[in-house]
A and B are shown apart, each in its own frame.
Chain A
Amino acid sequence: MNAAALSVLIVDDEQPARERLRRLVEELPGWAVAADCSNGAEALPLVGKLRPAIALLDIRMPGMTGIELARHLGSLEQPPAIVFTTAYDEYALQAFESQAVGYLLKPVRRERLEEALKHASRLSAPQLRGLATPEQPLAARAHVAVRVRDELKLIPVKDIRYFRADQKYVTVRHGQGEELIDESLRQLEEEFASEFVRIHRSLLVAVAHVASLERTPDGGYEIKLRGETEALPVSRRQIAELRRRLGGR
């Protein structure tokens, strides 16, 4: 109807909830629904293609929570503004309030929706991290998002062999090749602490993919990964921790 209408993407796993939000948004002058979909995996390509101004994300969804989806969307060059929707989530609400993150309670009121869409803003990484609470720690992502021209590609964390920090970027080595991501090795180490181990100042390796730990002729250590020919250097300081993590193998 309106050429200048701002577009909204709706992501919710429940069909009636999507239907109602769609109707409410379409009834608001100046807003249009770009698309709706039922989970994060469907949402990512849609965002790349349709470039919605705002994404309305349900929090509790199968596969990928709304919060993980928001973290992936945040790695886009021009991410949409985010508004979360939830039926009831007492812990999350405190976090939203404190991080000044937009949210809507279901059933959503027309006026509240209009207000939230008007004031919706893009979320910063610290804001998203602030959404973790003692009761609901920010779960480690199941995927790492990589930007390939303005499309997001998801790499399952299980496929990742290692992260290597270069000057500005971090290289992700996975089963199908290498990609660059714009995240810090320190934060990755913290997030994936249960599956990855730091072996060097600039290397974070998946414990499950380590094939062997060997001594080098000059008295140092290196590891080999399954399916990789390249050996990775292990720094002296990390050797004890690496042994502990490989323990029993």
Chain B
Amino acid sequence: MSRPGAAAKTSTRIEDGPAAIPVAPAAEPQRDEPRARAAPSSAVAAALDDFFIPDFCATRSVFVVVLIGELIALTLSLARPAANFLVELARISLFLQWLGLTSAALLCYARPQLARLSVPRASAWVFALLMINTALLSEAALWVGGSLGATGLTAALFPSEALPFLLRNEGICVLVAAMLLRYFYVTHEWQVHLRAEARSRIEALQARIRPHFLFNSLNTIAALTRSEPRRAEEAVEDLADLFRATLRDSHSPLRLKEELELTRIYQRIEELRLGERLKVRWDVAELPMRAFVPGLTVQPLLENAIYHGIEPLDRGGTVTVSGRVADGRVEIVVSNPVAPPRAESAERAGNRLALENIRQRLALAYDEAATLAIEQPDGEYRVTIRFPYRE
């Protein structure tokens, strides 16, 4: 049962990274077992990373707890104008620091368990833990106060009336815990949002520059640098033009002339790499070159056709780019021969992603008025885009 095993192995690899894997090829037979055991702990680690209650075991968190405790102590002592401010502050601080640090220790210890629960359940548990801790500490303070006797300093530092003290503390505990939980939750959501946004930006950029193309082009240039320096120089210039275009604001439209020029530049770079295997037939004489087109709509179509249609073919093939105006709409068709099917699900997904990206860009610019259609008439893969003709 080699393949399911291999799949299970690779699915855990995402979290624990290459460092955790024995490297010596001799360790091969034993490899499956420790990895299988390592998997649950790494999955928990991922859940912990994603948990909204911060890690109270960290030194920084402990420092923040001390600071928050002191701020609450200040607030509470300021709110009692009748008492001696400094004695009041000392008294409340003493109690709150005990409470804060023991609570932090509790949460530090309970966090892995809490991380498995839903947000409301975890919050309920945090409330319960903090309230029990407050009750225990209040009792302890009362007991210490009682046993030391109500004289001098001890009378000032320890409480004497039992029930009101306990109830007040629980009340404050609930309010502070509610505020902190809300704060942790909002901060966490905000961070998740920031991370997701950064990821989607990178993905958008990658959809426009296929890394495969970038590194293959650099490799071609490295090869040409010595054998054909002039062509290498031109390739660098072409690559620079293409990247300038991909990095430009994608919302500003281009003239069709410029877009087709970029597509030809792209074609030149790919020709260096694929040689005889790549042939492109252009049939665009009927296209109005002054028409506006959202940037990078034709070039990715050619890129897709080459990546999925030409590269998998031993002898290569011909991509056809044709265009015309019909019913006030510009119509551009890119077609390529279909490669023999191979079980490369990742590549097919990549194809859908690239086309989806173009579809979205067209929809952003023209709403319903633009379309992208895919047809597969015998042995061919044909993508047609239509969008309103505007000058």
**Considering only CB atoms, which chain B residue lies closest to A123 in the complex?**
B25
Of the stretches B63-71, B123-131, B271-279, B322-330, the one at the interface is B271-279
A62 touches B312 (CB 8 A): yes
Known A-B contacts A97-B18, A100-B24, A137-B345; A130 and B275 likewise in contact (beta carbons under 8 Å) = no
**Considering only CB atoms, which chain B residue lies closest to A187 in the complex?**
B2
Residues of B within 8 A of A108 (CB): 219
Interface members, chain A 134-186 (any B CB < 8 Å) = 134-140, 186
Instruction: Produce 1/0 per residue, B187-221, CB < 8 A to A.
Output: 00000000000000000000000011011101111
B219 touches A107 (CB 8 A): yes
Interface members, chain B 63-90 (any A CB < 8 Å) = none
**Cα-based distance from A129 to B31 in the complex (angstroms):** 13
**Considering only CB atoms, which chain A residue lies closest to B347 in the complex?**
A136
Residues of A within 8 A of B215 (CB): 87-88, 105-107
**Cα-based distance from A168 to B272 in the complex (angstroms):** 50
- A2 within 8 Å of B by Cβ? no
Total interface residues on A, using CB and 8 Å?
46
Give the contacting residue for A133; candidates B10, B314, B343; CB below 8 A.
Answer: B10
B223 touches A98 (CB 8 A): no
Which applies to chain B's interface (DSSP): helix, strand, loop or mixed?
helix
- B378 within 8 Å of A by Cβ? no
Residues of A within 8 A of B345 (CB): 135-137
How many B residues touch the partner, as a band?
A: 35 or more
Instruction: Produce 1/0 per residue, A44-69, CB < 8 A to B.
Output: 00000000000000001011010000
Give the contacting residue for A132; candidates B3, B226, B311, B349; CB below 8 A.
Answer: B3
Interface centre among A65, A98, A137 (most CB of B within 10 A): A98
Of the stretches A17-25, A198-206, A231-239, the one at the interface is A17-25
Residues of B within 8 A of A212 (CB): none
Which applies to chain A's interface (DSSP): helix, strand, loop or mixed?
loop
Residues of B within 8 A of A65 (CB): 342
Interface members, chain B 1-17 (any A CB < 8 Å) = 1-3, 6-7, 9-11, 13-14
- B155 within 8 Å of A by Cβ? no
- B224 within 8 Å of A by Cβ? yes
Residues of B within 8 A of A133 (CB): 7, 10
Interface centre among A15, A127, A138, A191 (most CB of B within 10 A): A15
Min CB–CB distance B118 → chain A (angstroms): 27
- B227 within 8 Å of A by Cβ? yes
Residues of A within 8 A of B224 (CB): 16
**Cα-based distance from A102 to B215 in the complex (angstroms):** 19
Residues of B within 8 A of A130 (CB): 6, 9-10
B7 touches A20 (CB 8 A): no
**Cα-based distance from A60 to B219 in the complex (angstroms):** 15
B342 touches A139 (CB 8 A): yes
Instruction: Produce 1/0 per residue, B111-150, CB < 8 A to A.
Output: 0000000000000000000000000000000000000000
Residues of A within 8 A of B3 (CB): 129, 132, 137-138, 190-191
**Cα-based distance from A88 to B273 in the complex (angstroms):** 15
B21 touches A19 (CB 8 A): no
**Cα-based distance from A88 to B18 in the complex (angstroms):** 18
A-B contact pairs, 6 of them (CB 8 A): A17-B216, A107-B218, A124-B28, A132-B6, A139-B343, A190-B2
Which B residues have a C-beta under 8 Å from some C-beta of A?
Answer: 1-3, 6-7, 9-11, 13-14, 18, 21, 23-25, 28-29, 211-212, 214-216, 218-224, 226-227, 272-275, 311-314, 339, 342-346, 349
Which A residues have a C-beta under 8 Å from some C-beta of B?
Answer: 13-17, 19-20, 23, 39, 60, 62-63, 65, 87-91, 94-95, 97-98, 100, 105-108, 121, 124, 126-127, 129-130, 132-140, 186-187, 190-191
